Amino acid sequence: MATPIPINQCEFALAEVVAATGGGLVRGTANVSASDRVRSVSIDTRSIEAGALFVALHGAASDGHDYLTQAAARGATAAIVATGRRHPALDCIEVDDTLTALGRLAHRHLERTRAARALPLIAIGGAVGKTTTKELTAAVVRALFGATLSTPGNLNNLIGVPMTIFTLTGDHRAAVLECGTNTRGEIPKLAQIVAPDVAMVLNVDLEHSEGLGTLDDIADEEAALFSTATGYAIASADEPMVLSRIPKHLRRITFGKSIDAHVRLVSRGAGARSRIRVELARALVAKDVAPLIETEIALLGEAAALNCTAAIAGAAAMRAAVLEARDLVAIAAALASVQPVAGRLASTSLNGIFVIDDTYNSNPRSIRAALAAAREIADGLGARLVIAMGDMLELGNQSAAAHQEAIRDVMRSRPAAFVAVGPEMNSARAALSAESSTAGMLTAPDSTIAADTVAGLVQPGDVLLVKGSRGIAMERIIERLR
């Protein structure tokens, strides 16, 4: 499910690259095509274009410096490299850290774009729901502003965010960027790159605790997205750990179910498509306009409906004026057009089975949201609920307790059958063996074996929820059913 890095035609003068990155330019003695400009930015020699600037990133699996010769052979004219690792066939800008330089160069592209014209920009972070909310927000912003740059897929890290920014062109009138983290200090760096007008932090919960630490540490990390925002902070009215971390200089718009929310979910239906009713604070809409949005969405569960309120709040903050009646109509249509993101509570029918695919990632909050949605669908259809749940990864020393609680959450959802998949789930099952509620649940060491187990359990008419962290590859179960 990895998202390909998009190709760009982002031009820079070499002097601009040097100034943005703080590097030193060393002309290539063997570079016969030396130029004072580059025509694009690339981190992958397989997709590099003539005249490109190649950024040699040092990763866990490979080192871009090993590919400088290939970059030159494929048409690159310049490269950003670590100090002392220049290549004679390329003009090289030497820097202390090439990943940092990539982010600084992307920030420079944003700066010069904003200097030329207004470009409302929102950054979206949080533990759960970022990608779906980003898709919803992008749809709404596109309806209100026109051409909108939005993060493709899951390119939300220190590589994906800059490479997305480089695709920003003169045609774009707004930008919606997703920012994610699995290591402490990543969100502050992304905030420096993006410097948004509007920053949205959806929620705080256990996620990547191995790299992020305690719940307070996670809250501090996620709330760092507010640190460089210049206009508004968007947060759930039901998330005190987020609200308490909003800087005082930012105006705030809240969303959620709370009566105090500026964008409030008043009601929602159940089912594969549900009708939602959202009420907006009077200050957000023009005088004499009813502050209500009603629409039907193709997303499952209450969490998705709340993501719609977040999207409305974010788009409202990006507007320089109150929302008119035509804007509310456009927002309703935009929300209705959004389809589920692959692997994130996406539903399909396989051999008469209603399959809910939530295999992209997993943490305690997303498990609770998925279980609520699955139970709701099963009840609406009068169907049996079968659950296959894989490990949650990167939870560190909180993993054992989190997996035990996840099993209890599953059993509280009253499944007809439950298959726990992976070593963490299996260990949690053993620890809970004395609890009567876990009687009858099945275990599998991995998703390959679980696929056969689940295939033998389900029958036409069932609702099947398949969920787990990316590394467990729970999609194998769905592939087996196909």
The CATH number that applies at residue 414 is: 3.90.190.20
Residue 110 placed within a domain: no
Distances (CA, A) of 431 to 77, 415, 422, 472: 59, 20, 14, 21
Over 70: is that where the pLDDT of 388 sits? yes
Looking at the structure, tell me whether residues 94 and 140 fall in a common domain: no
Looking at the structure, tell me whether residues 181 and 307 fall in a common domain: yes
Predicted pLDDT of residue 438:
75
Is-above-0.85 flag for pTM? yes
Over 80: is that where the pLDDT of 29 sits? no
Predicted pLDDT of residue 377:
96
Looking at the structure, tell me whether residues 208 and 245 fall in a common domain: yes
The domain in which residue 410 lies consists of: 346-481
> What's the pLDDT tens digit per position in 308-337?
999 999 999 999 899 999 999 999 999 999
Predicted pLDDT of residue 30:
63
Looking at the structure, tell me whether residues 312 and 391 fall in a common domain: no
Over 60: is that where the pLDDT of 33 sits? no
Q: How many structural domains is the chain composed of? A: 3
> What's the pLDDT tens digit per position in 287-303?
999 999 999 999 999 99
Which residues lie closer than 8 Å to 53 by C-beta, 6 or more apart? 12, 17, 38, 40, 41, 42, 76, 77, 78, 79, 80
Predicted pLDDT of residue 215:
86
Predicted pLDDT of residue 11:
97
Residue 108 placed within a domain: no
Looking at the structure, tell me whether residues 125 and 209 fall in a common domain: yes
Predicted pLDDT of residue 208:
53
Distances (CA, A) of 9 to 76, 292, 391, 478: 13, 42, 41, 38
Looking at the structure, tell me whether residues 234 and 300 fall in a common domain: yes
Looking at the structure, tell me whether residues 175 and 207 fall in a common domain: yes
Residue 279 placed within a domain: yes
Residue 105 placed within a domain: no
Residue 38 placed within a domain: yes
Looking at the structure, tell me whether residues 143 and 290 fall in a common domain: yes
> What's the pLDDT tens digit per position in 446-458?
999 999 999 999 9
Residue 107 placed within a domain: no
Looking at the structure, tell me whether residues 187 and 313 fall in a common domain: yes
pLDDT band for position 34 (cuts 50, 70, 90):
low
